[in-house]
Amino acid sequence: MPLFSTKGMLLDAQSKGYAVGAFNANNLEMAQGIVMAAEKENAPVIVQVSQGGAEHGGVEEMAAIIRSLAVKASVPVALHLDHGVDFVYNIRCLRAGFTSLMYDGSNLDFAENVRITRDVVRAAHAVGVPVEAELGKVPKDPTGITLGELQKYLTCPEEAKAFVEQTGVDALAIAVGNMHKMKIKEAKIDLERIKAIRQVVAVPLVLHGASGVPDEAVTAAVKAGICKINVHTQLSKRFTEKIREIFQADPYTVDLRKYLGEAREALMEEVRAKIRLFGANGKAPGVREVAIEPEEYTKQEIVE
């Protein structure tokens, strides 16, 4: 299949009450493992490349790898930029063939986040590509974050409604107690906040930092309205754990095909489990591509 955008995937998930897994890939084997898992589970899948991952593997190179896997895949595969932190990088990924973008302006004030997000949306929608943005702030380092500090990062439902209306984004990543880079499942998710945002925001909602969210909280978050769930740290952890196991068993191993191949298999099983947890298994046949029409924007006064 050709690469899909995330638009149809997330709308299908929203209408049927499941979440699409969005899994980060930093090299060939990780990307292969993700797509292999989706095929085994007959699920739509989003292969993500973060700005850091793209700088490591190359924007055009990672796009080419994932595009080649999608063409041969029997399920819908989307290529998504995860946490693109500036306008120029989003446009670079757009030109490289990414079929979904994310502009992360969560470090900015509301008005500036709106302004740049709207510019990314305008450019992406002109060529039929959806855009995800973030409102609130999902901390990128869970160490030393107190409960009180975490509270000030949470997404406000009223601001979320205004943000979506003023930017035209296709999906919104929200902060509800989730954190990036958590190696232990101990995040406390504010389910009532998800429900409150869902009531005032029509576009699909996204949960970042799911590696640190307990399975029962993930299931509850999907029921509350989450349609896309991002996983990175847990995949990297399992991938490297398997390599470590191989070297501990045989410190003189030099055939990278052996340890990278086994790491790919271990990652694939991790992704399969996540797809089932999110309820996306068996959902591939129902996903259809959804066209995005270029939008006309009028100058708006943004109240700070």
pLDDT at 188: 79
Tell me: the pLDDT tens digits for 47-73?
A: 999 999 999 999 999 999 999 999 999
pLDDT at 145: 63
For range 195-202, the mean pLDDT: 97
pLDDT at 150: 66
Does the pLDDT value for residue 278 go beyond 80?
Answer: yes
For range 17-25, the mean pLDDT: 98
Say if 139 falls within a structural domain: yes
- With b for 16 or more beta-carbon neighbours within 10 A and e for fewer, the 268-299 pattern comes to bebbbebbebbbbbebbeebebbebeeeeeee
Does residue 281 contact residue 41 with C-beta atoms inside 8 Å? yes
Say if 79 falls within a structural domain: yes
The pLDDT-based confidence of 214 (bands split at 50, 70, 90) is confident
Integer Cα distance of 51 and 28 in angstroms: 16
Exposed, middle or buried, 161 (CB in 10 Å: 0-12/13-18/19+)?
Answer: middle
pLDDT at 218: 93
For range 291-302, the mean pLDDT: 57
The residue annotated as part of the active site, out of 12, 82, 170, 190, is 82
Say if 57 falls within a structural domain: yes
For range 198-210, the mean pLDDT: 93
- Crossing angle of helices 256-278/215-224, nearest 10°? 50
Say if 239 falls within a structural domain: no
Integer Cα distance of 177 and 102 in angstroms: 20
Integer Cα distance of 15 and 11 in angstroms: 6
- The lowest-confidence range among 152-161, 195-204, 240-249 is 152-161
The pLDDT-based confidence of 1 (bands split at 50, 70, 90) is confident
Residue 68: partners with Cβ closer than 8 Å, 6 or more residues away: none
Q: What whole-number percentage of the chain has pLDDT above 70?
A: 89
Does the pLDDT value for residue 32 go beyond 70?
Answer: yes
Strands 131-135 and 205-207: what pairing? Answer: unpaired
pLDDT at 148: 63
Say if 244 falls within a structural domain: no
Residue 82 known to be catalytic: yes
Does residue 283 contact residue 18 with C-beta atoms inside 8 Å? yes
Q: Domain containing 10: what range?
A: 6-233+271-286
Say if 245 falls within a structural domain: no
Tell me: the pLDDT tens digits for 33-50?
A: 999 999 999 999 999 999
For range 155-184, the mean pLDDT: 85
Number of domains in the chain: 1
Say if 241 falls within a structural domain: no
Say if 298 falls within a structural domain: no
Q: What is the CATH number of the domain that holds 29?
A: 3.20.20.70
pTM of the model: 0.91
| 20 beta partners | 228
Q: Is 207 helix (H, G, I), strand (E, B) or coil?
A: strand
